[in-house]
Amino acid sequence: MIDLLFLPTDYRATLDLLAIESAIKDIKDYFERRLAESLNLQRVTAPLFVRSGTGINDDLNGVEQPLRFCVKSDDGAPVEIVQSLAKWKRLALARYGFRVGEGLYTDMNAIRPDETLDNIHSIYVDQWDWEKIIPVDQRNLGTLKAAVEAIYDAICRTEFHIASEHSHIRPILPETITFITSEELRKRYPDLPPRQREDRICAEKRAVFVIGIGGDLEDGQPHDGRAPDYDDWTSPNSDGGCGLNGDILLWHPVLQRSFEISSMGIRVDPETLVRQLEIRQLTSRRELMFHRMLLAGQLPQTMGGGIGQSRLCMFFLRTAHVGEVACGIWPDDMVQRCQSANITLL
């Protein structure tokens, strides 16, 4: 197995364990308020599991398997632990009666057993999942960019807040976030694979939104994987590329690499759903409950995404491993190697 663990030289955590726990709560409370205000979102309660066979669970890249079990008191009905709430949120917006311009956010807790563990990945995932209803005629890049800038503003405000509470943490984010399409990024660094392209652009710009994740680029390869039934990654956009989705990336000063904070996008409409299912050869999904409702026009047009809670805490507290801000299960060898590098895993 490839060793993906990075151990920084002369590392010291900025806070002790109890101070980290206090700072985590402060970060989450402060950012959550800013996020809700900037995007007009209301908090709702989220499920930990959903019924199997409905098409509601997030299939991520299409190969990760969710944890499944049967409910004894429901005639053994099969259910599965969520991997994210990308599609559930759209159902909730319709069910709760949200209107255009309004949205929801929730604390999403997921288990992804197929995740490869390293400095930033755990089998436990916690994020703010948010979703907002937009007018059908505003399915465009301008709408997406405005949402990205609102989220980035909330991130910057939170960094200044944390810096004001902890004098040894200084703000490092630029005032504005840089937008670039995945195709522009490929042409800028044609000899590098996607991850290293992200590292290079983040080292230069410090905060970047890469537009168009999931569709094939001109070299026939996608920048990264994306499920075909929530984000729109095939519609042409005004920047000369394809895709109305993307990732927010920050430069992590301790890890010295790009650091994904959020995946988000304009959601598929019926036409886009059909096209992307055909591209991925998954047209059988059209028979699932979620997909039937979308194709029948029973779900609102939305945009949304997920923002990593532990990822943000890692960034603001300048920690070297997600296990310093979130409890998890780690291989014994990883625990020992981290301990030798002054990295204490929860």
61-93 per-position pLDDT tens digit: 667 788 899 999 999 999 999 988 989 999 999
Kindly give, in sequence order, each residue whose CB lies less than 8 Å from that of residue 39, ignoring residues fewer than 6 positions away. Answer: 103, 105, 130, 132, 147, 150, 151
Domain boundaries along the sequence of the chain? 17-47+83-340
Per-residue confidence band for 4, with pLDDT thresholds at 50, 70 and 90: confident
Where do the H-state alpha helices sit in the chain?
Answer: 17-39, 88-96, 141-165, 182-188, 194-205, 270-279, 289-295, 309-317, 332-340
At 314-327, the pLDDT tens digits run 999 999 999 999 99
The larger pLDDT score, comparing residue 113 to residue 198, is at: 198
The CATH superfamily assigned to 17-47+83-340 is Bira Bifunctional Protein; Domain 2 (3.30.930.10)
Computed over every residue of the chain, the mean pLDDT equals: 94
Per-residue confidence band for 2, with pLDDT thresholds at 50, 70 and 90: low
Give 282-289's long-range contacts (Cβ < 8 A, gap of 24+): 282/62, 282/228, 282/229, 285/55, 285/228, 285/229, 288/53, 288/54, 288/55, 289/54, 289/55, 289/56
Mean pLDDT of 3-22: 91
* Catalytic residue positions, numbered: 58, 112, 127, 247, 260, 263
Mean pLDDT of 160-185: 95
Which pLDDT belongs to residue 62?
Answer: 64
Which pLDDT belongs to residue 64?
Answer: 75
* Residue 244 to residue 322: CA distance in whole angstroms: 29
User: Residue 57 belongs to what H/E stretch?
Assistant: none
The pTM is what? 0.95
Which pLDDT belongs to residue 61?
Answer: 66
